[in-house]
């Protein structure tokens, strides 16, 4: 595993799971500051579970997760990371403006006019300018995700987690979202950690990726997507990047 002098996230010897059952173990990797890091794997491989642990929504069964040198803790202070959930997870009873403004009203003393201005700018950044007064139910899936990104960026965190940002989106919306993420990463230097199994998105934006496997109960590959596709000898990795069933790949 490549080391870095200034890792944004450091994961060492981590095992995760639920109700005493280990789902993934022996997880070791680091995410560099300003990197776009993808967590890959088939359905049920534990990608989202690992992400929940990185965010701090669950504690690892073993090992250590450090974000900026400290274990992720929620609630005690302003969040150190923004999160986009798979469904957007916008609060249904609030307008988009209120959703995006909630982190600001919770953690800053900005006057209402300033909060409104920040909300407007974040929504414009994700292409939803003018939608402040809309309810989440009035939006399409892609718009919800973009609004979720706007909320995740409200406090301008240096780190953003994204759970399957492109899932369920048409190819054009998905490409637009990838562009947006690249803009954030290049423009603001935001570290992005995304869970995905969308190959076009992985090749378009991810600098490095970690691949998880259900049978192996842990990581099976770490590296740049193109390197893994072209040079990996692991039939499971080759099968994933070539969109083939793993058995057929192993036999060939």
Partner 1 sequence: MDESARRVHIDLGRLRTLDAASAALLLELRDELRERGLETEITGASGRVDSILELVAARPHGVTPRDKRAHPGVVEQIGWNTALISRFGFEVLDFVGRTVVAAGGAIRNPRRIPWRTTVSLMERSGADALPIVALITFLVGLVSAFQGAITLHRYGADIFVADGIAIGVTREFGPLMVAIVAAGRSGAAFAAELGTMRVSEEVDALRTIGLDPFPYLVLPRVIALSAMVPILALLGDAVAILGGATVGVLGLDLTFTAYMTETRLRLTFWNIATGLIKSLAFAIAIALIGCKWGLATRGGAEGVGRATTSAVVTMLFSLVIIDAAWTLVFYAWDI
Cβ distance to partner 1 smaller for residue 112 or 171: 112
Quote the least distance from Cβ 151 to partner 1, whole Å. Answer: 8
* Residue 82 Rama label (left phi>0; alpha psi -120 to 50; beta): beta
Cβ distance to partner 1 smaller for residue 14 or 84: 84
By CB under 8 A, is residue 82 in contact with partner 1? yes
By CB under 8 A, is residue 90 in contact with partner 1? yes
Quote the least distance from Cβ 28 to partner 1, whole Å. Answer: 25
CA–CA distance from 99 to each of 36, 89, 180, 185 (Å)?
A: 25, 10, 20, 23
By CB under 8 A, is residue 54 in contact with partner 1? no
CA separation for the pair 149, 170 (Å, rounded): 18
Instruction: Show Cβ contacts of residue 127 under 8 Å, excluding neighbours closer than 6 positions.
Output: 146, 176, 180
Among 185, 182, 148, CA closest to 164: 148
CA separation for the pair 154, 182 (Å, rounded): 17
Is the torsion defined by CA of 24, 190, 82, 195 positive or negative? negative
By CB under 8 A, is residue 83 in contact with partner 1? yes
State the binding string over 9-48 for partner 1 (x if CB under 8 A, else -): ----------------------------------------
Cβ distance to partner 1 smaller for residue 7 or 82: 82
Segment lying near partner 1 (by CB under 8 A), choices 30-38, 90-98, 112-120, 167-175: 90-98
Segment lying near partner 1 (by CB under 8 A), choices 20-28, 85-93, 113-121, 206-214: 85-93
């Amino acid at each position: 595993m490549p080391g870095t002098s200034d890792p944004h996230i450091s994961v060492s010897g981590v095992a995760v799971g639920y109700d005493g059952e280990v789902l993934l173990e022996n997880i070791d990797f680091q995410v560099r500051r300003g990197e776009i890091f993808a967590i890959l794997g088939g359905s049920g491989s534990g990608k989202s579970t690992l992400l929940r642990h990185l965010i701090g929504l669950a504690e690892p069964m073993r090992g250590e997760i450090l974000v900026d040198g400290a274990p992720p803790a929620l609630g005690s202070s302003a969040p150190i990371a923004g999160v986009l959930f798979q469904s957007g997870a916008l609060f249904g009873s609030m307008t988009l403006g209120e959703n995006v403004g909630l982190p600001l009203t919770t953690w800053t003393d900005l006057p209402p006019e300033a909060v409104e201005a920040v909300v407007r700018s974040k929504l414009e950044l994700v292409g939803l300018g003018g939608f402040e007064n809309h309810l989440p139910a009035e939006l399409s899936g892609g718009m919800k995700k973009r609004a979720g990104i706007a909320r995740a960026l409200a406090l301008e965190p240096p780190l953003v987690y994204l759970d399957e940002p492109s899932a369920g989106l048409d190819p054009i919306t998905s490409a637009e979202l990838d562009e947006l993420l690249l803009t954030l990463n290049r423009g603001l230097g935001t570290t992005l950690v995304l869970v995905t199994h969308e190959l076009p998105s992985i090749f378009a934006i991810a600098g490095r990726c970690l691949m998880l496997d259900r049978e192996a109960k842990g990581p099976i590959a770490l590296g740049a997507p193109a390197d893994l596709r072209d040079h990996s000898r692991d039939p499971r990795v080759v099968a994933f990047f070539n969109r083939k069933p793993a058995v057929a790949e192993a036999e060939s």
